[in-house]
């Protein structure tokens, strides 16, 4: 039985003056699934994520979260409703430790933003919750390391950890495995899935370029091209559609991906 949709986009378009970044996009994210959004550079992926998370108001169409119209209401209000995204804020707080970085997210969730810096070292409950989250992500031993000094893979995990600290029901992650090795990519995804289960995340949306990660971990793949949904299907269905895969990835990457698939590199899929 198909589970209910938790996030919907209905005939969404977004124009920047004369340029059409999104053109009549309709999609839904259902409870209990991992959905990946793929497409070439300039396809409209980032604009779509910004519209889905309320950062941008669509020029036309509506976005609904748990049945409520959230079109353009802003990320702060959406976070309170239970939808969060990673913003890759590590470059903004490079001098904060890993522990302090997670504390910031928790304090923000609690509405203590005005007293953020005065609260960060004094709240025992915030400290305990922060340490618990760092344990989930294997970062507790590095809790006092400045975020700027963490290895790239740990920086990615800390970014995701801070998003989960907001207690969302659905989380949207933009390139959560970029810039790390293949082994690190899989480690990040496995930790993400484990932490999501423990914290009650209902759905995960990934914007991801690594096709091994996309095909291994996704329940559904949404392919975007020129601002339109070119395909919305399971990985098994999509890998049979070489025209769509080559359109969204380009011929060179298409060849590499299908060579990988044919060689059986995806045996032992990690999809839940």
pLDDT reported for residue 35: 96
Does residue 204 have a pLDDT over 90?
A: yes
pLDDT digits (tens, 9 = 90+) for 216-261: 999 999 999 999 999 999 999 988 887 887 777 665 556 555 555 5
Q: Mean pLDDT, the chain, as a whole number?
A: 85
CA proximity to 135, closest of 102, 107, 109: 102
pLDDT digits (tens, 9 = 90+) for 106-162: 888 877 654 555 556 667 888 899 999 999 999 999 999 998 999 989 999 999 999
Does residue 59 have a pLDDT over 90?
A: yes
pLDDT reported for residue 262: 46
pLDDT reported for residue 268: 46
> Residue 7: which pLDDT band, with cuts at 50, 70 and 90?
very high
The residue that leads in pLDDT, 33 or 123, is: 33
Q: Strand locations in the chain, DSSP E?
A: 5-16, 19-30, 34-38, 60-65, 68-69, 83-85, 170-174, 203-207, 220-225, 228-233
Q: Global pTM? A: 0.85
Do 182 and 192 contact (CB within 8 A), yes or no? Answer: no
Mean per-residue pLDDT, 88-101: 77
Q: What residue ranges define each of the domains in the chain, with the CATH number in brackets?
A: 1-82+170-272 (3.40.50.300), 88-166 (no CATH)
pLDDT reported for residue 106: 87
């Amino acid at each position: 039985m198909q589970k209910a949709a938790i996030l919907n986009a209905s005939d969404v378009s977004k124009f920047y003056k004369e340029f059409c970044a999104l053109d009549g996009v309709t999609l839904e994210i259902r409870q209990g699934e991992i959905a990946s959004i793929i497409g070439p550079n300039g396809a409209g992926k980032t604009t779509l994520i910004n519209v889905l998370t309320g950062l941008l108001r669509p020029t036309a169409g509506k976005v609904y979260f748990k049945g409520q119209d959230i079109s353009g209401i802003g990320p702060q209000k959406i976070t309170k409703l239970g939808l969060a995204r990673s913003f890759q804020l590590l470059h903004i707080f490079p001098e904060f430790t890993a522990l302090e970085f997670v504390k910031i997210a928790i304090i923000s969730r609690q509405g203590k933003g005005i007293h953020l810096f005065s609260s960060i070292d004094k709240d025992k409950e915030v400290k305990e919750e922060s340490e618990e989250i760092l344990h989930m992500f294997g970062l507790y031993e590095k809790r006092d390391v400045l975020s700027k000094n963490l290895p790239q893979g740990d920086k990615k995990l800390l970014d995701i950890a801070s998003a989960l600290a907001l207690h969302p029901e659905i989380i949207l992650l933009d390139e959560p495995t970029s810039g790390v090795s293949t082994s690190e990519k899989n480690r990040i995804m496995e930790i993400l899935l484990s932490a999501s289960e423990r914290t009650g995340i209902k759905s995960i949306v990934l914007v991801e370029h690594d096709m091994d990660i996309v095909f291994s971990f996704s329940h559904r793949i949404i392919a975007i091209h020129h601002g339109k949904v070119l395909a919305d299907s399971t990985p098994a269905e999509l890998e049979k559609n070489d025209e769509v895969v080559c359109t969204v990835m380009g011929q060179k990457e298409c060849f590499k991906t299908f060579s990988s698939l044919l060689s059986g590199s995806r045996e032992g899929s990690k999809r839940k």
